[in-house]
Amino acid sequence: MNKIKHILLSVISGCLLLTTAASANANKSEQESFDQELQKIKYNYALALSDDKTLLFAQSEFDSDDNSSLSVTRSGYKSPSKAFLLSLALPGLGQYYSGSKIKAATFVGVEAFAWLMRGKWNSEGTDLTAEFEQFNRDHWSEMRYEEYLFIVYGETNDDNVSAQEVSHHLPDTRTQQYYEMTGKYDQFSWGWDDADLNGLGYADWDSTFPTAVVGGATVPNSTRRLLYETMRNEANKKFSRANKMLMMVFANHLISAVEAFLSTKKRNESNSFDPEFSRLKVETNIKSTYGWRDTPYLSVGYKF
């Protein structure tokens, strides 16, 4: 009887030991699973915080046979060189590529404005040029100019006149230089149909008149010549403004490209990226003046 009891006690003890061992193994397995899940939560949280950073950390694979490993991936990285080339081709495109929509819209707006104004002023300059050229053909005569040369110098071609006051030579065709000379220089002033000197005009010429145009009191008056020069000056102003817009276009391409390169590089190196509107600062205040009341004002700023 005692022997049977001893055997039963031995069996029960063995079962208890096996149960304890199994429980210990189960607890160990549960602990390892818990540790793995904890690691996953930890690195997934780090991944969420890192958002767009150049180097993002993510858990790769956890198993009991191999220690947990960490892989480094490049997610959200933007190439500064690519941003530079994109904005060089089209201002604002590099900024849009790197995620800055406000700056992209700004550079695109400047580009559109510059091309629009260049087209407008170039068109207006072309129209004014056509007007003053027609005015020249209507009121300036090469025949009158040659007659003046013949009366004063005995030559009809200014190429053959060696006088100091005849310093320019009229082109054979109506080029841009032709239209400039006939209004700009005094030696061509007798070619205008309303030119007169001391009340004497083209119809009053004789063998002793007109005198050589050498400046000062010898330059005939011509209202149409002055009007012509005003028209030509207005056309030149339009073309000058159009050229400035073209310079703005080139500058906008270059500035946008450099800014895209630098901001993209800074973006990659930064540990955190603020939303664009977080750089917009709006303040209201009241500024005291020397008057009897305060002056309210609003200040708006944006940090690029």
pLDDT at 299: 66
Give the DSSP H/E element, type plus range, for residue 56: strand 56-59
pTM over 0.75: no
37 band by pLDDT with thresholds 50, 70 and 90:
low
Give the integer Cα–Cα distance in Å for 186 and 162. Answer: 16
Share the mean pLDDT of the chain.
78
Give the integer Cα–Cα distance in Å for 88 and 90. Answer: 6
Give the integer Cα–Cα distance in Å for 68 and 43. Answer: 11
Q: Which residue has the tokens 């892989």?
A: 71
C-beta separation of 294 from 80 below 8 A? no
C-beta separation of 241 from 233 below 8 A? no
pLDDT at 182 over 60: yes
Q: What is the mean pLDDT of residues 266-270?
A: 87
pLDDT at 162 over 70: yes
pLDDT at 191 over 60: yes
Between residues 242 and 281, which one has the greater pLDDT? Answer: 242
C-beta separation of 98 from 76 below 8 A? no
pLDDT at 11 over 70: no
The beta strand positions in 178-234, using DSSP E, are 196-197, 200-201
Q: What is the mean pLDDT of residues 205-221?
A: 86
| Pair of tokens at residue 28 | 């160990």
71 band by pLDDT with thresholds 50, 70 and 90:
very low
pLDDT at 38 over 90: no
Per-position b or e across 228-244, b if 16+ CB within 10 A of its CB = beebbeebeebbebbee
Give the residue extent of every domain in the chain. Answer: 2-73, 79-272
104 band by pLDDT with thresholds 50, 70 and 90:
very high
DSSP 40-62: HHHHHHHHHHHTT-SSEEEE---
pLDDT at 114: 96
C-beta separation of 303 from 266 below 8 A? no
Question: Which DSSP symbol is given to 140?
Answer: B
Q: Which residue has the tokens 């429980």?
A: 23
Q: What is the mean pLDDT of residues 230-242?
A: 97
Give the DSSP H/E element, type plus range, for residue 71: strand 70-73
What are the tens digits of pLDDT across the range 119-156? Answer: 999 999 999 999 999 999 999 999 999 999 999 999 99
291 band by pLDDT with thresholds 50, 70 and 90:
low
Q: How far is CA 148 from the centre of its chain?
A: 54
pLDDT at 70: 34
pLDDT at 45 over 70: no
Give the DSSP H/E element, type plus range, for residue 255: helix 223-269
pLDDT at 218 over 50: yes
* Residue type at 109 in one-letter notation: G
